[in-house]
Structure 1
Amino acid sequence: MIIDKTASASSGTALDKHNPVPELGNLDLNSQIYSSTYPTPLAPESDAVQQTLCGFEGPEKVFEIWFRPVNGKESPLPDVESVASEDNASVDEIVEDFTPIGKHVYNSTVPNADGEYQLPRTGLRTVSRDVWEEMLGIVKCQVLNVIQNECADAYLLSESSMFVYQHRLILKTCGTTTLLHAVPKIIEIAAEYCGLHEINAVFYSRKAFLFPEKQAWPHGRWGDEVAYLDKILPDTDYETSGYVIGKVNGDHWCLYMATPLRLSLDLDGVELGDSSSSSRDSDGGSSVLEEEDDEGDDDVTLEILMTQLDPAAMKTFWRDAEELKAARDPARAAEVAREGGQRVYRATGISEIYPDAIVDDYLFDPCGYSLNGLVGPHYFTIHVTPEDHCSYASFETTVPVRRSPNSGSATADDYETFEDVIRRVVRIFRPATFSTTLFSRKSARDKHHGSADTATPVDEDEPSLLHSLEGSVPAFRRRDRIGHCLGKWDLLFCHYDRGVPASASPRHKGAKAVVR
């Protein structure tokens, strides 16, 4: 199924405090996704009781933003002399000698004599941890730890993860976090600290919530979230679109996209308008889209969103008696969380997914698990809620298939297809049902496939994303396979279940047969 992005764009209409959803016209078929009343926020003292009685909201909200490089080019190193003077630090403490990276030097994490990592930092990566922590306070989550390599900083959070690249930020939070409240602050930080004033793309997505009524506004109702983002990204400057993909009376996935009008695209991802327009850089004439490709070649993201997990498989994601006892000592709490995380990492087979990755994981008290991993310029992340009545696990990766991230050639540790990745992941978590999303930039794909208006031939043996996930996953039936062409991006959504009768697979308490 091919859907025209421009045909369903949402307008940027101002929100009214007493009527947070703008006038939406004749939308009878989809009116159930919009709330008509302003929800009452949860009282702080009631959060613990509600989550204990109703379960934890595992499905995450995911926000991703791409900024245009300064002057349309890779950002130079910051003025380290001025940064050092402001922070009362030496230049050597800010950044070591910098050599531009033509080919990524993967996973270099050799510390200096003081045990600190000295890695080149530009763009968003120059923002200090305390600034990000202030922003995350708005979201209502905290930083547990940070790992890094030459390409990215990976923040492990009390509620999921954040990944910071030179011109790109991905923030993923679960529970009743208020992620969208922090979007204006993220944009402000990029402008104030990095000189990044222009946005190239914004994405916001989430699976259908298990307990939508527990979310704080604007979360909980998809229409409210779309209207809230349209307020921040008005239609005078951005083309915005909100989608619901999958069954409105079953499992589905929601996606919001925004691109600046200067990057108007047709369905094939080709820029519209005069080539001399503002989408071209004044000092070089190169397209903004081409500039973005230089930073994110082969940008493909796979998500596996799993529910109704096998209780036997989930036992490992609880602290054992020894860990619970050791954690009673406050001085050992962090140590127990780290050691427990490593136990889970090895015992479950998660360590075999990407054996060469830098990983950072954490086992929560009394249960729950989070992991961030870096593989060169790519990341992957795992989050697990193991309680029976609200069990959920998510796996997200940007590591490509069909080639080695390290050498560019096939090895025994590689995955030939994304189905190979999915099979390995579902063997670990053993869900009764799961959905996948595969999201790719067309421009990165067309670099390898060619296009109709170039002399480069299309390799017929190299399938596009919309021809992916056509294989089977053992023991599962694929119920949905929905493809979308979204301007510069392709999206493929699939839903699977184990094929047992409905009476043998009860729905989770709190699941809703409406779009949330």
Structure 2
Amino acid sequence: MAAISFFEGTEKRIEMDFDGEGDLRLANRSRWEDVVRLSGTVILNTKVTSEFTSFLLSESSLIVYPRKVILKTCGRTVPMSAMNAMRDIGKEQGLDTEWSCYSRKNFLAPSQQPEEHQSQEAEIACCRQACGGVGDAYVLGPMTGEHWLIFDVVYKEVDCNFRGDFQVDMMMYDLPKDVQAVFHTDLKEGSREGSEKMTTDSGLGGVVASMGGEVDDWCFDKCGYSANIHAGEAYAMIHVTPQDECSYASFESNFCSSRKGIPQDKAVPAKLNELVKKVLEVFRPARLTMTLFIDAGAVPLLEGAPFGAADFAYRRRTSTSTTFESDYIAMIFNYEKRLDKRKSDN
């Protein structure tokens, strides 16, 4: 197989929450095409269910709820360029921007990023300009290792002690060669056969089933994979860059969370840890970073999830957290594969 060049899988992520009676899903499709174009990517496919709309992009995903939007892009994209357009869509639908956040983990090759993303200083300056000169920047984790840049803007105060929203993001590096091989193909890009084969052969079909979800999947030319999962009101995004020199996979979801109040299901910790376990069994990365954005109201519910599953098979290297406005929390945990000497000796 011919060598395939380096690609930056590590994503940049923008999330915005809105307040009001409008519905972002009612915006004309052309408005979301504008958002995607400004970011430097294109829409490949769209899936609509009663809870939200998802867009598969040439570089990752866009998720649109009635009053929440998540834009996640990889490669050399510049999603900050779309922040004003995202807020404008909210205004057009009669909504006020409540909160926005730009975040990304440290890049594998920052020098290959466009100038807006080649340094934290440049990113912070771009975020402040896009957000009208307001907002604060944070770095969680060791600056000399795996860390997470966050730019947080609060436009309208809300009490997250009475909310149960959270998102888990798993960023997985150095995938085994047999895992990498599953996400290479000779089939046509975007073909049903090629996309379904990657979903099935990788074991991701089992992950989708465990969530009770429906998948919108896509295989890329020669290698690479993306999928959006709809599981009731829960979403999940999966992106895989299988090249050996930069192998990476990400899995993000709000499975078991709720923006309609604090979930009352006592099985949430077990369900969340089981989901993380299944994802780790699919990708078996040598290095793992997990992040968690969580409303204060949901913290007691999780009882240490979703990190329990990772702690079993991986060695925790660092963990860092910070609290915004006293009721919203961000956490980052860095792991490396735990070596079981007894197994290696057999």
Task: State the TM-score bracket (shorter-chain normalisation).
Answer: 0.7 to 0.9
C-alpha displacement of 1:231: 1.8
Q: Does 1:64 align with 2:7?
A: no
Deviations 1:465-500 (A, max 9, x none): 6x8625654442111122322223122211111256
Q: Partners of 1:204 and 1:363 in 2: how far apart?
A: 27
Instruction: Give the strand-richer structure, 1 or 2.
Output: 2
Does the CA contact (< 8 Å) of 1:445 and 1:464 recur in 2? no
2:252 to 396, 403, 412: 396
Please state if 1:248 is matched with 2:199: no
DSSP 3-state at the match of 1:66: strand
Contact 2:16 2:97 in 1 (8 A): yes
> After the TM superposition, which residues 100-499 of structure 1 pair with which residues of structure 2 at under 5 Å, given as runs?
123-191=23-91, 193-196=92-95, 198-235=96-133, 238=134, 240-260=135-155, 262-263=156-157, 288-289=158-159, 298-320=164-186, 323=187, 327=188, 334=190, 336=191, 338-355=192-209, 356-400=212-256, 416=270, 418-442=272-296, 444-445=297-298, 462=301, 469=307, 473-487=311-325, 488-499=327-338
Q: Distance in 1 between matches of 2:153 and 2:4?
A: 37
d(CA) in 2 for partners of 1:472 and 1:181?
Answer: 35
> Could you tell me whether the CA contact under 8 Å between 1:307 and 1:431 is conserved in 2?
yes
1:305 positional shift: 0.3
For residues 433 and 307 of structure 1, the distance between their equivalents in structure 2, rounded to whole angstroms, comes to 5
**Judging changes above 3 Å, is the alpha-carbon distance between structure 1 residues 139 and 234 closer, same or farther for their aligned structure 2 residues?**
closer
Q: 2:105 touches 2:149 (CA, 8 Å); kept in 1?
A: yes
The alignment's TM-score, normalised by the length of structure 1, stands at 0.60
Whether the 8 Å contact between 1:209 and 1:220 is mirrored in structure 2 is: no
1:79-108 CA distances to partner (integer Å, 9 max, x unpaired)? Answer: xxxxxxxxxxxxxxxxxxxxxxxxxxxxxx
- Taking only aligned residues, the RMSD between alpha carbons, in angstroms, comes to 2.6
Report if the CA contact (8 A) 1:372-1:381 is conserved: yes
* Structure 1 residue 224 displacement after superposition: 1.3
What displacement does 1:173 show?
Answer: 0.5
Cα shift at 1:230: 1.2
Compute the displacement of 1:423 (Å): 2.0
Residue 216 of structure 1 and its aligned partner are, at CA, apart by: 1.3
What runs of 5+ residues in structure 1 fail to find an aligned partner? 1-50, 76-122, 264-287, 328-332, 402-406, 450-461, 501-516
Q: Identity over the aligned pairs, expressed in percent?
A: 30
> What code does the residue aligned with 1:389 have?
E
Instruction: Give the aligned residue type for 2:84.
Output: P
Using the alignment, how far apart are the partners of 2:221 and 2:89 within structure 1? 33
- Please tell me the residue identity of whatever aligns with 2:27: V
Higher relative contact order (CA 8 A, sep 6+): 1
| Paired residue secondary structure (1:416) | helix
The 3 A distance-change label for structure 1 pair 227 and 419 is same
- Secondary structure (helix, strand or coil) at the match of 1:141 reads coil
**How many residues get paired?**
329
* In structure 2, distance between residues paired with 1:134 and 1:493: 32
Distance in 2 (CA, whole Å) between partners of 1:468 and 1:398 is: 11
Residue deviations 1:264-290, cap 9 Å, x none?
xxxxxxxxxxxxxxxxxxxxxxxx548
**Distance change in 2, residues 1:417/1:241 (3 Å):** farther
CA shift at 1:189, angstroms? Answer: 2.5
Structure 1 residue 417: deviation in Å? Answer: 5.3
For the 8 Å contact 2:140–2:149, the answer to whether it is kept is yes
How many angstroms does 1:419 deviate by? 3.4
Cα shift at 1:440 = 0.6
Question: Are residues 248 and 186 of structure 1, via their aligned partners in 2, closer, same or farther at CA, if it must alter by over 3 Å?
Answer: same
Pairwise CA distance, 1:357? 0.5
- Tell me if structure 2 keeps the 8 A contact 1:415–1:421: no
One-letter amino acid of the structure 2 residue matched with residue 312 of structure 1: D
C-alpha distance in structure 1 between counterparts of 2:129 and 2:26, whole Å: 29
